[in-house]
Amino acid sequence: MRISIASGKGGTGKTTLSTNLSAFLAEGSEVVLADLDVEEPNSGLFIRGDLISTEHKYKMVPEWKEDACTLCGLCQKVCNFNAVIRLANQILVFPQLCHGCYACSELCPTESLPMIPQKMGQLSLYKRGNLNFVESRLDVGEEQAVPLISQTIDYIDQHFPEAKYKIFDAPPGTSCPVIEATKDSDFVILITEPTPFGLHDLKLAVETIRSLNKPFGIVINRDGLGNDDVIEYCTKQNISILAKIPNSRKIAELYSQGELLYHQIPEMAQALKEIENYLSKLVIQELA
């Protein structure tokens, strides 16, 4: 079962929930945790395992060969991302802007834009007991997170077809990287905080996940902070609140030291248990 943990707003607890839930579930079954926030992965600060392997990841980008090029400009015309620019006597390619769609390359009448691999980042696999942790990291200067996210999910599907739970720590926001990290999941957990900011971005996240037709539920982090508007919103919208994590100084201290929480925070263990129960029911429904 693939579960994406997303949020809309940054800093609401995606990584806290992803790492704690993964470690908690791994006490009973095989789990894969993937940090899909490839622009700034941080799950690895909390999951320390043995490094099993590291590999470079590549995306395909066009490279201009001037010999046969007639400078017809079709490449520039079909590029939706302005990654290919025609000038008086040359074609300029901006690999950072390229989404790797192959349109310019395939449509070029003189085959002057062959696609070549370009390194965009790396993927590392760590293991700690039943928990397999996959961290992908985009190289500095790369602008496109989507190809690396997509390849990371493919890697997990190939290497861990049997894992009971695959937990995806998604990037913040509601743009392309978040869509890529959630679109093939069986369930999405949206984590939020009970503040006006949290609610504002939660609404955007709900709208996004609904347009993907994904089943989802909410976890409230820093419960006790702010106001009841998030709860009222969920009730009105008929959205399940799976669990609440309390607002606590002790949690912040443990987090700042890179520690998992549930061994020392009973309310966290309780919240994770509630989420596990909810997910187990979904697994049973899926099998039925």
Partner 1 sequence: MRIAFTTKGTDWNSPMDPRFGRTAFFLIYDEEKDELIHFDNSATEGAAHGAGPKAAQKLFELKATVLITGNGPGGNAGTVLEQVGVKSYVGAGEMNVQEAYKAYKNNELKAF
40 lines the binding site for partner 1 (CB under 8 A)? no
87 lines the binding site for partner 1 (CB under 8 A)? yes
CB of 82 to partner 1, least distance (A): 3
117 lines the binding site for partner 1 (CB under 8 A)? no
92 lines the binding site for partner 1 (CB under 8 A)? yes
| Surface-to-core class of residue 143, CB atoms within 10 Å of its CB (0-12 exposed, 13-18 middle, 19+ buried) | middle
CA distance 133 to 123: 10
- Interface with partner 1: number of residues (CB under 8 A): 14
241 lines the binding site for partner 1 (CB under 8 A)? no
CA distance 239 to 208: 14
101 lines the binding site for partner 1 (CB under 8 A)? no
CA distance 254 to 128: 20
Please pick, from the candidates 94, 102, 197, 278, the single residue that binds partner 1 as defined by CB under 8 A.
94
Stretch that binds partner 1, among 77-85, 199-207, 230-238, 280-288 (CB under 8 A): 77-85
Give the contact letters, 134-153, x = binds to partner 1 (CB under 8 A), - = no: ---------x----------
222 φ, ψ (degrees, to nearest 5): 55, 40
Q: Which residue has the tokens 């990584």?
A: 15
Is residue 220 within 8 Å of 245, Cβ to Cβ?
Answer: yes
CB of 111 to partner 1, least distance (A): 23
Token couple for 105: 């390359």
Element (H, E) at 271: helix 266-287
CB of 88 to partner 1, least distance (A): 7
CB of 187 to partner 1, least distance (A): 29
Token couple for 193: 């905080």
201 φ, ψ (degrees, to nearest 5): -75, -25
Stretch that binds partner 1, among 79-87, 132-140, 164-172, 189-197 (CB under 8 A): 79-87
What 3-state DSSP class applies to 280?
helix
248 lines the binding site for partner 1 (CB under 8 A)? no
86 lines the binding site for partner 1 (CB under 8 A)? yes
Residue closer to partner 1, measured from CB, 34 or 113:
113
CA distance 126 to 129: 10
Is residue 38 within 8 Å of 136, Cβ to Cβ?
Answer: yes
Please pick, from the candidates 96, 118, 124, 270, the single residue that binds partner 1 as defined by CB under 8 A.
96
- Residue 31's contacts (CB-CB under 8 Å, 6 or more residues apart) are 22, 25, 130, 131, 132, 163, 164, 165, 166, 167
* DSSP code at position 10: T
Residue closer to partner 1, measured from CB, 92 or 252:
92
CB of 173 to partner 1, least distance (A): 13
In 58-168, alpha helices (H): 74-78, 103-107, 146-159
164 lines the binding site for partner 1 (CB under 8 A)? no
81 lines the binding site for partner 1 (CB under 8 A)? yes
72 lines the binding site for partner 1 (CB under 8 A)? no
CB of 180 to partner 1, least distance (A): 15
Binding site for partner 1 (CB under 8 A): 76, 81-83, 85-88, 90, 92, 94, 96-97, 143
